[in-house]
Chains A and B, each alone.
Chain A
Amino acid sequence: MGEMEQLRKEAESLKDQITAARKAVQDSTLQEAAAGITVVGRIQMKTRKTLRGHLAKIYAMHWSTDSKLCVSASQDGKLIVWDSVTTNKVNAIPLKSSWVMTCAYAPSGNLVACGGLDNMCSIYNLKGKDGNVKVMRELAAHTGYLSCCRFISDTEIITSSGDCTCILWDIETGTQKTVFAGHQGDCMSLAVAPDFKFFISGACDFTAKLWDIREGTCRQTFGGHESDVNAIGFFPNGNAVITGSDDATCKLFDLRADQELITYQDSSIMCGVTSLAPSLSGRLILAGYDDFNVNIWDMLKAERVGVLAGHDNRVSCIGVSADGMACCTGSWDSFLKIWN
C-alpha cells in the first residue's frame, strides 16, 4: 500500500475515532438539562440612539471596554469613534483604502485597527501626542482580504483572512509572531477567549476552530454547519462557542465536551446569519441576519424570544457592551443603533 493510501486510511480512522469519542460522552442533551427552566419572557428592546454620519454601508463595529465609546467601519472610507451616549463623533479617521471589512478597539482604549480588501491590518493611535490620529503600523503579510481583527493588548493583535489563515502579530515590530493554518476556506471571523489564551475562528469550510494562542496549534475543530460560518463568539465563561452561518442557523458548541449542544433555527428563517453577540449572562444570543433583522434567542431553550427590527438593510455587525447595558447594531443602511 502506498504511503498516501496509508495516510488517507489513517485520517479516516482518526475521524471515526473522534466521532465515536464525542458520542461516548453524549449521555444527555442541553434540552434535557434545561427541561425544568421556563423560556425567557418576550424581550422587547427599543432603539435608544441612532448614530448617523457614515455615507455608505457599515461593515463592522466594536465596543470599547468602557461601554461608552465604540468604533465603526464603513465603505465610505472612514473609521468613526462614537460616544454612544451623546452620539458625538469623537474621531473620524479617513482610511487609505475604503474597502474596509473589519474594525477593532484595543482593550486599553488607546488603539483601533481596521482592514479589508487591501489585505492589511492598519493600526491607529487614538492618543497620539499632538492629538491627531495617525496610522501607527500597517501589518501586511496576508495574501487575502482581512475579514476580522481583535486586539490581545496594545502590542498584539490577531487577524483572520480570506487566505484561509489567521495571524498573531507583534504590533511594535509589525511582524508575524504566529501563523494559524488549517482552515480549508476563507476565514470569516474570530473571537478571543475571556482569558486571552485561546481564540476561535469561523470559516468558509463550514467549520469553527479553537486555537491555542501561545502554542500556535489548533486544539479542536467543530463541524455541523452546512455553509460558511460568518460569525463567531465565546459564551461569557469561555467554555462554549456560538457560531452563525449562511445556512440560516446558529449553533452552540461546548469546548470541554467537544461537540455541538444545540442549534438555533426556525423554519421561517431562510437567510444567512451575519453577526452575533451573547448578552452578559449568556442567556440571550443576539444574531443579525441578511433579512435586515436581529433575532434574539433564549440560549438554553433555543427559542426565539425577540426581534430587533429597525434597519432598512442587512444588519452586518452587532456587539453587546462589556457592562451588558446595550446592544449596538450596524447596517448596510449606513446607521448604527443602540438598543436596550
Chain B
Amino acid sequence: MSNNNASSSLIIAQRAVKQLRLEASIRRIKVSQAAAELKQFCLQNASKDPLLMGVPSSDNPFRPPKSCSLF
C-alpha cells in the first residue's frame, strides 16, 4: 500500500514539474506593449460601446419609442 502511495506521489510530482517547465518556457511580451494595446483597443472601440456611450432612446430596443401623432 505504501509503495502505491509513493509511486503515485512520484507521478504527481513528475507531472507538476513537467507542467511548470511548459509554463516557464512561454514567450512573454513587455507590460508596456501589452498595456498600450489594451488601452488602444478600448479607445478605438469606445464609440461603438453602447453601455459606455449611453443608448439614445430612439435606438434602444428595450425602450418603447415615444410615438408622435400627427393630426
Contact = CB atoms under 8 A, between A and B. Distances in A.
A300 B34 CA distance: 12
Contact of A18 (B23, B29, B45, B49): B23
B48 interface: yes
A256 B31 CA distance: 9
A72 to B, nearest CB: 17
Contacts of A283: 42, 45-46, 49, 52
A237 B20 contact: no
Contacts of B35: 28-30, 32-34, 254, 261
A282 B20 contact: no
Contacts of A220: 23, 26
A14 B45 CA distance: 39
A299 B45 CA distance: 14
Most chain B CB atoms below 10 A, which of A25, A29, A43: A25
Contact of A284 (B19, B24, B39, B52): B52
Contacts of A323: 50
Contacts, number: 171
A14 B26 CA distance: 12
Contact of A43 (B13, B45, B52): B52
B38 interface: yes
A1 interface: no
In this complex, the interface size class of chain A, counting residues with CB under 8 Å from chain B, is 35 or more
A84 B42 contact: no
B31 A257 contact: yes
Nearest to B27: A256
Nearest to B29: A256
A21 interface: yes
Contacts of B16: 7, 11
B17 A257 contact: no
Interface stretch (A96-104, A121-129, A162-170, A324-332): A324-332
Interface of A: 3-4, 7-8, 10-11, 14-15, 17-18, 21-22, 24-30, 32-34, 37, 40, 43, 45, 48-49, 68, 84-85, 182, 217-221, 235-237, 239-240, 254, 256-259, 261, 279-284, 286, 299-300, 320, 323-327, 338, 340
Q: Please provide the 7 A-B residue pairs with the shortest distance between their CB atoms, ordered closest to farther.
A: A33-B35, A281-B45, A48-B62, A281-B49, A14-B20, A28-B32, A7-B13
16 contacts: A4-B13, A7-B13, A21-B24, A24-B28, A27-B32, A182-B19, A219-B23, A236-B41, A237-B38, A239-B37, A256-B29, A261-B35, A280-B50, A281-B45, A283-B45, A326-B50
